Amino acid sequence: MADIYTYVEGTSPAKIKVIGTGGAGCNAVNNMIDAGITGVDFIVANTDVQALERSKALNRIQLGERLCQGMGAGGDPDTGRDAAKESRDSIRQALEGANMVFIATGLGGGTGTGSAPVIAEICKDMEILTVAVVTTPFEWELGRRASLADSGLNALKEQADTVITIPNEKMLKLADANVRALDIFKQADEVLINSVKGVSELIIKPGYINRDFKDLKKVMTKSGLALMGIGAAEGDNRAEVAAKAALSHPLLEDVKAIGAHAVLINITAGSDLTMAEMYKAAKYITNETGSQAEVFFGFVIDDSLGQFLQVTVIAAGISQSKPVCLQAAPVKDDKKAAGKVVSLPQPEPENVFQNLKDIFRASGGISVAPSILPGQAGKMQKSTQAEDSFPDPYDMKNATGDNQYESPAFLRKQAVAGGGLK
């Protein structure tokens, strides 16, 4: 069964670009570059020139050069929107040739909230598949910032094919009390990293059940709100544990996959992966999503995962108001962990393959879902590095002492206007 396909290293039938806009988006792109993701073009866009200067991306767009003069949007989404419109030609040129674009931003501020819908609209006009991955404010940011985030999310949903939201508040609840603030925000960036890496591997890396970019586009185009879950486990019941972890992570406490119009399921494991394990994982997920969903199933063999089995789920077209994307920590399948899982009936060995065939036939089609983080299961545990306390919010220096968080752009703008800070 060797040489089923011809694969040329470094080639891809589709082009993926990631554009980070605003402060959060630019930081996310920097973290993706640090993560060593290849085969993807990175772009950053900002009204703040100093933020662009700190970016590690080669393609940088200064939004609203005339309007903002490099000083930021002052927390005003209208200014961010107008700045993006002023720079529409530069954005379009940067996105040229892309088949799929990820937009990364944080909602509630000025540049990201205002510019992201404009960027998504440009992608839409260019007929580019567009997925927006955004963060929403903490609970203590109630009021104007929360209202701006809601408005920005609604505007984004009108233009992007798929929107995945990451509530900052839920990431905080999952963290240890003394976890560093920077590590909490990096969790959101890891979601984007996993999403992009998974999709890029879907396109570039051949799977044992393989489909192309058009299959992905069929699922994601105009799917609205989406949910992504990742679970990993080891042990005798690792398939069930991982599947449940992918759908029952604390970040999903107010979101269910039920009602999704399409579900991508991908299983990644070593060469010891069995048919029974694939059946149990897929059956658990399809029971949760409902019979109406079109199922796209795939699997990848990656021996670098060791004894871990990883399940990735993307549910598109869900109706809930607050979908989220997450990275679940691996669970060791000992007696304690297994006791928390509702066991599925063990299929008879001779019926396993027929059961898989039934799932495929009911789906109306078979596709490969993203294979996310192969070889990195050991890195999926959330950070527990402790500090004596949260960093002083007025200490603008990060943990390494680099002065990355100097005065906000709008304060510099006010100072310049008043003849002060230059």
- pLDDT tens profile 270-288: 999 999 999 999 999 998 8
Kind plus residue range of the DSSP H or E element containing 222:
none
**Mean pLDDT in residue range 266-272:** 89
Sort strands 224-234 and 309-318 into parallel, antiparallel or unpaired.
antiparallel
pLDDT value, residue 387: 35
Do residues 107 and 136 make contact, with C-beta atoms less than 8 angstroms apart? yes
Question: What value does the mean pLDDT of the chain take?
Answer: 74
More confident site: 140 or 351: 140
pLDDT at 153 over 80: yes
Range ranked top by mean pLDDT from 148-152, 215-219, 340-344: 148-152
The neighbour count for residue 209, using CB atoms within 10 Å, is: 15
Contacts of 358 (CB under 8 A, 6+ apart): none
- Say how far apart CA 12 and CA 9 lie, in whole Å: 9
pLDDT value, residue 178: 80
pLDDT at 361 over 60: no
- Say how far apart CA 96 and CA 125 lie, in whole Å: 12
**Mean pLDDT in residue range 65-79:** 96
Q: What is the DSSP string of 257-279?
A: -TT-SEEEEEEEE-TT--HHHHH
The top-level CATH class assigned to 16-160 is alpha beta
Buried b / exposed e over 15-37, threshold 16 CB at 10 Å, is: bbbbbbbbbbbbbbbbbbbeeeb
**Mean pLDDT in residue range 108-113:** 96
Quick check: helix, strand or coil at residue 318?
Answer: strand
- Quickly state the pLDDT bin for 328 (edges 50, 70, 90): very low
Angle of helix 238-248 relative to helix 275-289, nearest 10 degrees, comes to 30
- Say how far apart CA 125 and CA 120 lie, in whole Å: 9
**The two structure tokens encoding residue 303:** 């021996």
Chain Cα centroid distance, residue 282: 22
More confident site: 57 or 186: 57
- Say how far apart CA 154 and CA 151 lie, in whole Å: 5
More confident site: 74 or 322: 74
In the block, tokens 């662009």 appear at 52
Do residues 196 and 37 make contact, with C-beta atoms less than 8 angstroms apart? yes
Quick check: helix, strand or coil at residue 99?
Answer: coil
Domain segments of the chain as ranges: 16-160, 225-379
Q: How many CA atoms lie within 13 A of 210 on its CB side?
A: 13
Per-residue DSSP letter, 403: -
pLDDT in tens, 236-246: 899 999 998 88
pTM of the model: 0.69
- Say how far apart CA 338 and CA 194 lie, in whole Å: 26
Mean pLDDT lowest among 230-234, 330-334, 391-395 = 391-395
Listed in sequence order, the DSSP H helices in 175-249 are: 181-204, 213-220, 238-248
pLDDT value, residue 260: 82
**Mean pLDDT in residue range 90-112:** 96
The CATH classification of domain 225-379, taken from the options 3.30.1330.20, 3.20.20.80, 3.90.380.10, 3.30.70.141 = 3.30.1330.20
pLDDT at 322 over 90: no
What percent of the chain is modeled with pLDDT above 90? 37
